[in-house]
Structure 1
Amino acid sequence: MSKNNAYWSANVSLMIKLLVVWFAVSFGCGILLVDVLNNIQIGGYKLGFWFAQQGAIYTFVVLIFIYAKKMAALDIEHGVDE
């Protein structure tokens, strides 16, 4: 496999993993498990409601930072860093 293909394959693999996490949090916790999570309250709000309204957004922002950090390391590993 060429160097460019290895870099692209690692990039796509990272994106897929992060998107699976985001999907699990947003769809799983915000829709599928909402009834179970609503039995838990934090600060007077039901946890399922919180995940549906804000949890998925916070998770997405955290995943952006994780992606940036991992891509910087990947760039260095493959010699394409700035």
Structure 2
Amino acid sequence: MNEMKITFKKPEEILDFVNKVEKYDCAMDMNRGIYVVDGKSILGIMNLGLNNIINLKIYDEDCEELKKEIAQYAVA
């Protein structure tokens, strides 16, 4: 399992993120506090809110290409 911290500033970024991750076969969840949503769900991610730090869990060990594609949303 791989973990990243992600943030979105605009709704368009969530749409772009989902368009990128849905090309991959691996399962992923995102959570903020007690709320957990599917990492490929636009509405689920929008419910986590903008300008918040969101934990992304990717349940696949071979996801380096995916991590490169979504690096722009990672929190340093």
TM-score under structure 1 length normalisation: 0.29
Query: 1 or 2, which has the higher strand percentage?
Result: 2
Query: 1 or 2, which has the higher helix percentage?
Result: 1
TM-score under structure 2 length normalisation: 0.30
Structure number with the bigger relative contact order (C-alpha 8 A, sep ≥ 6) is 2
